[in-house]
Each structure stands twice: as structure tokens, then as C-alpha cells.
Chain A
Amino acid sequence: MAWITKPSATTKISKRDEPYLTEAMREELTGKILPRYETKHGALLPALHMIQHAYGWVPHQAMLEIAGVLELPPAEVLDTASFYEEYWLRPKGKHTVAVCRSIACEFCGQPEITQAVMKHLGIEVGETTDDDEFTLVELECLGACGGAPAVLIDETLHEFVKPGDIAGLLDEAKKAGGHH
């Protein structure tokens, strides 16, 4: 939840030599994104999206790097990043399976879909498979109520999903590869 905070004063930030924010990303950020906003702070969401898309999560080191480019206190970056659900502050699997659990989906068969994914992958909601391939989450409304139950696998939306379709959809995602 967005507003649960943790004592982070003692948290050690693990660092690697190679920066997360690559030269190309820096260039896109300063050349293309920054001029769109009146303040540098405005470019924070796109910057975080960039990292999330490339690595599948937003490491603390990346946040420090973003803070450097946007001239913000690192705490402000963490403040924003921790608020939004789409930014993962811990590593997750290569693929994300997001099952919609909102009103239309739940009453059109979502519980069976979640069960099917859990059974197929052998994990609970919120967990990642041992081979780091899949992370299963349940989200609120994906905006596909007319196609309930809906499942978002990485960036592809699947509508009218049946429990029997799950194995095929997951295989498909595995073949397509890639983070987001």
C-alpha cells in the first residue's frame, strides 16, 4: 500500500559500479523529457518508468542517479516511487502476471483464474517463481470490465480468459521474453 512506510534510516543501499541510468537514458531524459515540463520534478514519473521498463524494478541506486539528474533530494524520488504501485522497489520475475480482481472480473470468474495461475506456477499471489520467470499479482481494475475476467501479462491484455487458457498464455509470454 502506498502509504505504509518503513524505517529506512538504517537501510544499506547496495551499489554496483555500472550506473542504471545509461548514457542513452540520460540523453533522452535531459533532451526529450525535461523540456516538456516546467519543473525538473515533473520529469520524475517518466524517469522512473524508464528504469522500471529497462530493469523490471527500480533499485535505490537508480533513484539516487535520477535524483542527481533532476536535482532533487533523493528522499523526494523515493517519496514518489514508493507511492505508485507500478514501480517495483524490489526485484520481480521476468514476466508479470496481473490478474484483475475488481468487481466485474471477480463475479465473472476471476477466482478460478488466479487459482489456475497459482497451480500452474506453483506460487501464491505476490510471489515469484524460483526460476525468476513469473511474478503473480492481483490488481484492481485493469479497465477491461467488458472482457471480464481480464489478465495483463507483461504489457499484453487478455480478455475473457478461461482457466484452461492460462498455460498457453504463460508459454506465449515466456517465448516473447523481456522485462517491462
Chain B
Amino acid sequence: MDSFVRRRRPGVGLEKRTQSMADRRLFTENMGGRGILTQRIPTKPFGDLKDRHIVGYDEYVKTGGYEGLRKALTIAPDDITESVKKSVLRGRGGAGFPTGVKWTFLPKVEEGQVPGVDGFHRYLAINADESEPGTFKDRLLMDFDPHLMLEGIAICCYACRLDRAYIYIRGEYHHQAHVLEQAIAEAYEHGIFGEKGLINSDANTAGQRFQVDCYVHRGAGAYICGEETGLLESLEGKRGWPRIKPPFPAVKGLFGKPTVINNVETLCHLPSIIENGHEWFCKQGVESTVGGPPSFGTKLIGVSGHVNDPGVFELELGIPLRTLVEEYCGGMRGGKKYKAAIAGGVSMGVLGTDQYEAELDFDIGRKYNVLGLGTACPTVFDEDTDMVAVARNVARFFKHESCGQCTPCREGSGWLYQLLCRIEEGDGKTKDLDLALEVATSMGSMPGTTICGLADGNNWSLRTIMNKFRDEFEDRVERSFVPVKMTVGAAAKD
């Protein structure tokens, strides 16, 4: 394990990462060939997918489950938040915001107030509305190991004094919703949730007694409900229109009460962080090489597209895309060459042909000109892929999923799709390319012109595809010449 202890230089963090593939293997082997999140779910290359099954309460406990919660209940809530803060666990839902810091935004529980009593509520909303094209990692956790997530929920609720948890699961996940319902019923029975919950009386010290309830709330096929305030609106039974912030959900969230919103995978990290300590967590993953916050821990990485062996892998953050594809996914399908990859959910943009070595960590946005790591679920394309068609597909997705609240996004996404259809069919002109980029820019580029980030995702994904594969787009369109009287330099590229 020594090879994983890296020297920390706070504030500088420019330590060059020299970790080799062999070291990376060592980590997984030290885990006994098991992951942390996937320790009960056989995952390639360390397990046989045929052995996957739903882990029930008994099996979960027998394999060390709910130990993290038991330990957490012996620690003061604020110390748990502090520990999570020190672990620099960054949200796994796409934005990478530090989880512990998010928790500290909650208002304090006043003396004499007990969450869940006299209409005083504090909520946890679990974002299981995984619906961005390319992203399919949380499904694995909900499919086979639902109690890991429930343990994470219980720990979070205890640490932040939240009395109700809603799992917002997307409508298309029928099977997963059933699995969760069943697991929740088991958890109620065994003293995790409900009146006799949080392992019966352990939390019942010095007036801290409170109960946690956990419910499944099914979405109904709207991508925008994965945006945190859109999710809250949907939980309240309204159309999933994102809210204007501030107030932020931590202060005024669900039904106007303090609310924490966390991704499934983020919560699944909590039990092991509590059990093994934040120092242990910080030994995995990598420091930032561009002076940003570090990328610690393992990450579920879902690879799809033109690879031989697609699927979800649990690996340390910082793994290069090439290694991922060639060593874990069995290389490119049909021996073809790599051409491009969606960085992690389409809104993050694409990695170009020369960015095959890109390391998958939270630095990726700054280093490789994409929006960010997103959910770290690359969709890989081979050399035969038509990037214009990729852009058209992405544009259609955003057009379809724009909620219609803000004009730039509602109108812009539609026009972009039409423009790209025209270009794909060969009816476009060179100026259409610039027009498309102009429309995209006017929609949003952090901070954008809209309430939520959907328009920014639309802009970034199309901008990166069009800029990194400009030749392909230019070959497809009719040249249009604009006479000018002076010599101009190359068009500004970002």
C-alpha cells in the first residue's frame, strides 16, 4: 500500500503523478480483488458477471454491512461531517462539489428542535434520476446492492439531522425501483428506518433521538428532473422546472425546508469512509496537477460505445482513458482505431483523437478542454464514426429534454438541432457552422443565460465536437465565401 501514500502539499498540489499501471492494480488486489462500492457485486475483470445477484439484508450484514452506520452512531454528527469534509469526497453526480462542504450549508438545528416533530422537517433527496446519455453507473448499485445505498442514506441523515429521505429514481428504472422498495422494507424491519430505526436505540442519547423515514419516489421520464431544483419541484408534484437560486436547497429546498441532495454513488461511499477513516479514503485517487482540489477515491466508470467489453468498472480516479479502454474493456471493437470519446455524459463534451491519454479525474475539464469529468462514463467512438451524426444526436437529446422554461435554451436547442440536421444532410453552408456556434454560445457558457445548466451542457457538447472535429464539418458543407477588404487572422478558437 506504500506506493499509494503520496505527499500532500496543500494549496500547491502540483505534484506530478507518476503512478504506474502496476500500482493501480495493487490497489484493487489489496482490496482482495473487490471494489469498495462493488465489493458485493462481481465486476470485470475481478469477478464473473454471472455471479451477480440482489444482495438482501442478511447477506449484506454477513459481509460487513451496516458496520459503517453502527460506527457512525457512536460519533457526534458534526464530527462525521468534518470527517467527510476531510476526505474531500466530491459529488459523483457530475458537478464534483465537495459533499462535506455541501452539508455544512445546512442551517443548524436549534436547541429543543427535533427533526420530524411538530412539522419541523429536514430532507434528504437522493438523486437516482440517472438519465444523461452515456451514464449508467448508479443502476449497478441499485440493481444488486441496494442496502449499501440505504446505509449511506442513514449515515447522511444521522450526520445532517435529516428526518426524511426520498429516493428520486427515474421512471424507466422499473426493476430497480422494486429492488429498492424491497430493501427499504427490510431496513424498516431491521431497525434502520422508522420508529424503531437507526439500529434501535444507539442514537438515542441526550435528546438526539429522532427517526428517519425513507421513500422511493418515481420520476416519469424527464431528464431535467436530474437537476437538483428540478428534482425538488418534481418531488413536490409539479412540473420539473428548475428554480432560480438563491435560495439554495440547503436553506429552502423541498417544501421550503432545508434539503440535502446527493447522488447515489456519493452516498454509497459514506459507509467505507466512516468505517476506515478519511485518511484511508485520501490514499486512493490522485492529487490535482493544475492546482485544483484533489480527486480522491474510487469511481464507478461506465464505458459504452465501440469497445469490445463495455460495462461498469470501479477504478481509482486518474486512470487514463487509453488504459481503461485497452486493459479493461478489451480494446476497440473490431480492432478499429480510437477516434473520440464523450467525456462523461454528453453534456461534458468530447475528447478528441489526440486526447486518448486523458486521465479521468476532476482535472479533466481544465486540461482537455471539456466541461468536466461529469459522471465519468465515457462513450467511445471508433474511426468510422461520423462526428456530424454524433453532434446531431446530442443536439436532438437536448432539444427533446429542454424543459421550456428559459427562452435561450428552448429556442436555441431546437435551432441547433435543425442546423445540424441540415449540415448532416449536406445542405449546410460554411456560415452555418459559425451560426451554430453562435447560437450555442448565446445559450450558455458558464455562467449562461438560463436558470439551470442544461443549456451550458448543450453549448459545451456541441462546441467541443465542432471545434475538435472542424474538418469533418467543413467537408460536409458547401463553402460560402464572404468578400472582405482586409486580411483577417484565423478565426478565434477556444
The residues of A with any CB-CB pair to B shorter than 8 Å are: 1-3, 36-39, 41-46, 48-49, 76, 79-80, 83-87, 98, 101-104, 106-108, 139-148, 152, 155-157, 180
Question: B108 on the interface (CB 8 Å rule)?
Answer: no
* B394 interface contact, C-beta 8 A: yes
**Contacts A2-B239, A157-B175 hold; do A46 and B217 have CB atoms under 8 A apart?**
yes
Check: B318 CB closer than 8 A to any chain A CB: no
CB contact between B222 and one of A2, A48, A79, A152 (< 8 Å): that residue: A2
Chain A residues with Cβ below 8 Å from B239 are 2, 79-80, 83-84
* Bound form: Cα–Cα A152–B171 in Å: 12
Select which of B135, B235, B389, B394 is within 8 A of A42 by beta carbon.
B235
The answer to whether A85 touches B173 (Cβ under 8 A) is no
The answer to whether B220 touches A87, judged by C-beta atoms less than 8 angstroms apart, is yes
With CB as the reference atom, state the residue of chain B lying closest to A4.
B404
Contact B237 A38 (CB under 8 A): no
Contact present for A144 and B401 (CB under 8 Å): no
CA distance A180 to B255 in the complex (A): 30
- The A-contacting residues of B in range 377-411, CB under 8 angstroms, are 377, 379, 381, 385, 389-390, 393-394, 396-397, 400-404, 410
| Partner-contacting stretch, out of B79-87, B192-200, B302-310, B440-448 | B302-310
B133 in contact (CB, < 8 A): yes
Q: Does B50 contact A (CB under 8 A)?
A: no
Are B175 and A84 in contact (CB-based, < 8 A)? no
B305 touches A140 (CB 8 A): no
B189-226 vs A: 1/0 string, CB under 8 Å?
Answer: 00000000000000000000000010101111111000
Task: Kindly state whether residue B130 has any CB partner on chain A within 8 Å.
Answer: yes
Tell me which residues across on chain B come within 8 A of A146, comparing CB atoms. 136, 302-304, 310-312
Contact B172 A139 (CB under 8 A): yes
A-B contact pairs, 5 of them (CB 8 A): A37-B237, A45-B234, A84-B221, A103-B342, A141-B133
Interface string of B155-198 (1 = CB under 8 A from A): 00000000000000011111100000000000000000000000
Taking CB atoms, residues of chain A closer than 8 Å to B381 are 107
Cβ contact within 8 Å between A155 and B133: no
**CA A141 to CA B137, docked complex, whole Å:** 13
Of A37, A85, A102, A148, most B-chain CB atoms within 10 Å: A102
Q: Is B93 an interface residue (CB 8 A)?
A: no
B100 at the interface (CB under 8 A from A): no
Contact B236 A103 (CB under 8 A): no
B220:A143 contact, CB within 8 angstroms: no
A3, A85, A103, A108: the one contacting B133 at CB < 8 Å is A103
Residues of chain B in range 297-339 having any CB-CB distance to chain A below 8 Å: 302-306, 310-312
Among the listed B130, B302, B377, B397, which residue makes an inter-chain contact with A102, where contact means beta carbons less than 8 Å apart? B397
Chain B residue numbers with a CB within 8 Å of A1 are 400, 404
Do B304 and A49 touch across chains, with their CB atoms under 8 A apart?
Answer: no
Chain A residue at minimum C-beta to C-beta distance from B234: A45
Instruction: Choose among B172, B255, B397, B410 the residue that contacts A103 (Cβ–Cβ < 8 A).
Output: B397
- Given that A38-B121, A48-B220 are contacting pairs, would A2 and B403 also be in contact in the complex, using a CB cutoff of 8 Å? yes
Q: Do A145 and B135 touch across chains, with their CB atoms under 8 A apart?
A: yes
A85 and B220 form a contact (CB under 8 A): yes
Evaluate whether A145 and B220 lie within 8 angstroms (CB atoms) in the complex, with A38-B121, A44-B237 already known.
Answer: no
* CB of A68 to closest CB in B, whole Å: 15
| B369: interface (CB < 8 Å) | no
Q: Is B237 touching A140 in the complex (CB atoms < 8 A)?
A: no
Shortest CB-to-CB span from B324 to chain A, Å, is 13
Decide: B134 and A145 in contact? CB cutoff 8 A.
Answer: yes
Contact A108 B393, beta carbon cutoff 8 Å: no
A103 to chain B: which residues have CB within 8 Å?
Answer: 133-134, 305, 342, 346, 379, 390, 393-394, 397
| Interface contact A107-B390, CB-CB below 8 Å | yes
Check if B240 is an interface residue, CB within 8 A of chain A.
Answer: yes
Determine if B353 is an interface residue (Cβ-Cβ < 8 Å).
no
Other 4 A-B pairs with CB < 8 A, given A42-B237, A80-B237: A1-B400, A2-B222, A140-B397, A141-B223
**Inter-subunit contact A107/B404 (CB<8 Å):** no
Contact among B213, B306, B400 with A140 in the assembled complex (CB-CB below 8 Å): B400
Chain A residue numbers with a CB within 8 Å of B219 are: 45, 84, 86
Residues of A within 8 A of B390 (CB): 103, 107
Contact B237 A147 (CB under 8 A): no
With contacts A39-B255, A141-B131, A146-B304 taken as known, whether A49 is within 8 angstroms of B220 at the C-beta atoms is: yes
Determine whether the beta carbon of B310 is less than 8 Å from that of A143.
no
Q: Which residues of A contact B135 (CB under 8 A)?
A: 141, 143, 145
Say how far A141's CB is from chain B's closest CB, in angstroms: 4
A48 to B389, CA, bound (A): 36
Nearest-CB distance from A99 to chain B (Å)? 12
Q: How far is the CA of A43 from the CA of B166 in the complex (A)?
A: 13
CB distance from A126 to the nearest CB of B (A): 13
Is the Cβ of B134 less than 8 Å from the Cβ of A104?
yes
Residue numbers in B under 8 Å from A45 (CB-CB): 217-220, 234-235, 237
Contact with A along B286-305 (1 / 0, CB 8 A): 00000000000000001111
